[in-house]
Structure 1
Amino acid sequence: MIALRVIARLLDYPDEALFHHQAELIEALESASEVNLRHSARLVNFIQTLFARPLLDVQAEYCELFDRGRATSLLLFEHVHGESRDRGQAMVDLLEQYRADGLELDSRELPDFLPLYLEYLANGSAERAREGLGDIVPILALLAARLQQRESPYAVLFDALLSVSGTDVAAESLQTQVEKEARDDTPAALDAVWEEEQIKFLGEQGCASAQQAAHQRRFAGAVAPQYLDVAQATTRSTGS
Structure 2
Amino acid sequence: MKLLKLISTLLDYPDDELWEHGEELLAAAAEVDLPAPRGTALQEFIRTLLEQDPLTSQDAWLSTFDRGRSMSLLLFEHIHGESRDRGQAMANLLEAYQRAGLELTARELPDYLPLLLEFLSTRAPSEVRFWLVYINHIVGMLAARAAERHSPYALLFEILVELAESQVDMETLRHRASEEPRDDTPEAMDRLWEEEVVRFGSTPPDANGAPPCRPAFAASARAQGQPRVP
Taking structure 2 as the reference length, the TM-score comes to 0.81
- 1:100 positional shift: 2.0
Alignment gaps of 5+ in structure 2: 197-230
- 1:166 positional shift: 1.7
Give the aligned partner of residue 155 of structure 1. Answer: 154
Give the aligned partner of residue 37 of structure 1. Answer: 36
Helix, strand or coil for the counterpart of 1:96?
helix
Aligned 8 A contact 1:162 1:170 in 2? no
Give the aligned partner of residue 136 of structure 2. Answer: 137
Q: Distance in 1 between matches of 2:85 and 2:42?
A: 35
Give the aligned partner of residue 191 of structure 1. Answer: 190
- 1:105 positional shift: 1.9
Q: Deviations over 1:128-165 (max 9, x none)?
A: 21221111000000000000000000000011111111
Give the aligned partner of residue 51 of structure 1. Answer: 50
Q: Does 1:103 align with 2:96?
A: no
Q: Which has the larger radius of gyration?
A: 1
Give the aligned partner of residue 122 of structure 1. Answer: 121
Helix, strand or coil for the counterpart of 1:102?
coil
Q: Distance in 2 between matches of 1:108 and 1:87?
A: 17
- 1:106 positional shift: 4.3
Helix, strand or coil for the counterpart of 1:80?
helix
Q: Number of paired residues?
A: 197
Matches within 5 A, 1:171-210: 171-196=170-195
Q: Distance in 2 between matches of 1:27 and 1:172?
A: 33
Alignment gaps of 5+ in structure 1: 198-240
- 1:107 positional shift: 6.8
The range that moved more, 65-74 or 13-22, is 13-22
Identity %: 48
Q: Deviations over 1:86-137 (max 9, x none)?
A: 2111111110111122222247220000000001110112222122111100
Amino acid of the structure 1 residue aligned with 2:170: A
Q: Distance in 2 between matches of 1:47 and 1:147?
A: 17
Q: CA RMSD in A?
A: 1.7
- 1:47 positional shift: 0.2
Higher relative contact order (CA 8 A, sep 6+): 2
Amino acid of the structure 1 residue aligned with 2:8: A
Helix, strand or coil for the counterpart of 1:89?
helix
Q: Distance in 2 between matches of 1:170 and 1:51?
A: 33
Taking structure 1 as the reference length, the TM-score comes to 0.77
Amino acid of the structure 2 residue aligned with 1:7: I
Give the aligned partner of residue 8 of structure 1. Answer: 8
Aligned 8 A contact 2:144 2:170 in 1? yes
Helix, strand or coil for the counterpart of 2:26?
helix
Helix, strand or coil for the counterpart of 2:123?
coil
Q: Does 1:89 align with 2:88?
A: yes
Amino acid of the structure 2 residue aligned with 1:5: K
Aligned 8 A contact 1:159 1:171 in 2? no
